[in-house]
Amino acid sequence: MENSLNNLKQKNEQIVADDEIDLRELFTAIWQGKWIIIAITALFAVASVFYAINQPNIYKSEALLAPAEQDQQGGLGALAGQFGGLASLAGVNLGSGGGVDKTQMALEVLKSRQFTSKFIQKYNIMPDLMAAKAWNRETNTVIFDDELYVVEQSKWAREVKAPFKPEPSLQEAYKKFSKIVSADKDKETGLVKITIEHVSPYVAKNWVDWLIQDINATMKQRDVLEANKSTDFLIKQIQQTKIADIRAVLYKLVEEQTKTIMFANVRDEYVFKTIDPALVPEEKFKPKRALIVILGTMVGGILSTMLVLMRNFLSKDKA
């Protein structure tokens, strides 16, 4: 029994001794390769400084919006639950009474390719979107990359391979625009925040304002068009039926569509009401240059240490 305990104790002591030797060898290898570690770490630090300095300032402008009050049971669905059975006798399908979340629909429309493409073409923002390099604070002008866009000639000069062309396509512009725009709805409060990131704080602010203006106008046009089509359909149904009760229901629905059109025409903030409008940001949003330098230096230190240890282990294996 005593021999077993002694053997176990000796094994434990041997393990501890081996660990001490391994740690001693580890620190010795690091100490011997300290100049390599210092040199590589310094190289990474300098590289990260140059990288951070050459990154343009990006400004973010944002607006806080609240969903405008909508009649979720308006249109043909307004009287569907009450008179659906009666109207069906005349062959009129009023649809379900379920409401549509116009806020979520508006956000999806705002993120769509069609809306974005029209937005880019309407305001002619392709150069600011695809070729902006920096912003001159003194003159409040956007500086463009000469290798991409020649301002004096209003001509695209970028060199690309097929199927791409010197002038960016709307598909390319959509991908770039999707990266700098954000439109999210808070699940708890229901408020919507729209943000734009750009090298120019004035451009970012203008684009946010235009987005809000255009999405309200787009959703208004969609509802007015739908209401007009619904009105035409209902008038045809009135002309086809002779049942007094059905005609009364249809006239009521025509009245609801008229209210929808009137409501849309007198209200500019149709889907979103601005609570906190977009401002020209005074301070940059990114890059975080100090953080870039710190992370770059840390990466250099870690990689150089691993390199020194690998060299030490390989040299021991060869020996």
Do 122 and 212 lie in one domain? The reply is yes
Do 89 and 206 lie in one domain? The reply is yes
Residues in a beta bridge with 183: 194
Where in the sequence is the domain holding 294, given as residue range(s)?
2-53+290-318
Do 158 and 299 lie in one domain? The reply is no
Do 95 and 170 lie in one domain? The reply is yes
Do 261 and 191 lie in one domain? The reply is yes
Do 274 and 217 lie in one domain? The reply is yes
With contact defined as beta carbons under 8 Å apart, do 55 and 287 qualify? yes
Do 164 and 277 lie in one domain? The reply is yes
* Radius of gyration (C-alpha) of the chain in whole angstroms: 33
**How far apart are the C-alpha atoms of 218 and 224, rounded to whole Å?**
10
Do 119 and 21 lie in one domain? The reply is no
Do 99 and 64 lie in one domain? The reply is yes
Prediction pTM value: 0.77
Do 295 and 271 lie in one domain? The reply is no
Q: What is the DSSP string of 118-129?
A: HHHHHHT-HHHH
Do 60 and 46 lie in one domain? The reply is no
Q: Which CATH number is 108's domain given?
A: 3.30.1890
**How far apart are the C-alpha atoms of 277 and 212, rounded to whole Å?**
10
Tokens of 229: 């089509």
Do 142 and 206 lie in one domain? The reply is yes
Q: Work out whether the CA dihedral 310, 315, 317, 318 comes out positive or negative.
A: positive
Q: Note down pLDDT in tens along the chain; length 319 residues.
A: 555 545 555 555 554 444 454 777 778 878 888 898 899 999 999 999 999 999 999 999 999 999 986 554 444 444 555 555 544 544 444 544 445 678 889 999 999 999 999 999 999 999 999 999 999 999 999 999 999 999 988 899 998 888 889 999 999 999 999 999 999 998 888 899 999 999 999 999 999 999 999 999 999 988 888 888 888 888 887 888 787 777 787 778 888 788 878 877 778 888 999 999 999 999 999 889 999 999 999 999 999 889 888 887 777 666 5
Domain count, the chain: 2
